[in-house]
Amino acid sequence: MAFCIPGFESRTFTVPSADSSVDIAYQIAGSGPPLLLLHGFPQTKAIWHRIAPRLANHYTVVAADLRGYGDSSKPHGRSDHSTYSKRAMAADQHALMMSLGFSRFFLVGHDRGGRVAHRLSMDFPESIWRLMVLDISPTLIMYEHTTQQFATGYWHWFFLIQPEPIPETLIGCHPEFWLKNHMGRAAQDGVFDAACWVDYLAEVSNPQSLHAMCEDYRAAASIDLEHDRIDRQADKKLAMPVRVLWGEQGLVQACFAPIEDWRRIADQVTGRALPCGHYIPEECPEQLLDEIMAFCSQA
């Protein structure tokens, strides 16, 4: 059993499937309007532990593990990487919320969870009241505007998409060394709770999780871009309000223009930088809590 957010109940939902079912692990607490929280790479739903209990005083909070992460199923990826397309991962989360009786809900996603949230909002717009994404610009825009500075800082984007089993093998030789170097200053400065760090290290130490995470990135560099280009060609945009937050000390701040980037694919975009790096839920929990409460209260 992975890290449990204080006051939350751990559950599992099996996503109906014609070929192979996928179990999505989640934790739930609170009452009121539903709010789905989606974590990023290489983490789990544990990232929300500093704000989820207080959000549960106002919302029915669902913190889920993405397919391939945490306690969720980790199927081996298909050759076209569709197993870990953001469309497939988003459909998991939409089915979970529908199973709980939530036909509409607030949605917050960090990092890879933000990319899943983007696709969920595109594919199921009628289900999303408001969307908040943390420390990302849209995937297609980031790939199209890759610079040497971005490629140097986000080198893992280009490493993890290499064919199986290259990154899986190399990371698997020393998972803790890789994790500490990947998460950099945040790992060295004690940003992460010790129990959460155990969760994150378990992710990269598990060969199935490691493969799933690589497939997540392989999908982002292939089938996800196809889906995003189809949206662009159709001039399809997100109609719900979108709030984007990013770390002023991170590469998204240095290399992209998040508000302008999201306005290319969404009609109503606001946002700002927070005084932190990439790991906003754990570095800036108080500011993030205030942002979520204010944004959702406007609905």
Catalytic residue list: 111, 278
Give ∠ CA 69-70-72 in degrees, rounded to 5: 75
Name the one residue in this structure whose structure tokens are 């997540």: 216
Residue 118's DSSP bridge partners are: none
Burial class (CB in 10 A: 0-12, 13-18, 19+), 51: buried
In the chain, the N- to C-terminal Cα span, in Å, equals: 35
Contacts of 190 (CB under 8 A, 6+ apart): none
The stretches of the chain forming alpha helices (DSSP H) are 52-55, 86-99, 112-123, 139-144, 148-153, 155-160, 166-172, 175-188, 194-205, 207-220, 223-233, 251-255, 258-263, 280-283, 285-297
The region that residue 32 occupies, defined by phi over 0 for left and psi between -120 and 50 for alpha, beta otherwise, is left
**Residues in Cβ contact with 102 at an 8 Å cutoff, skipping those fewer than 6 apart:** 34, 60, 62
Burial (0-12, 13-18, 19+ Cβ within 10 Å), 135: buried
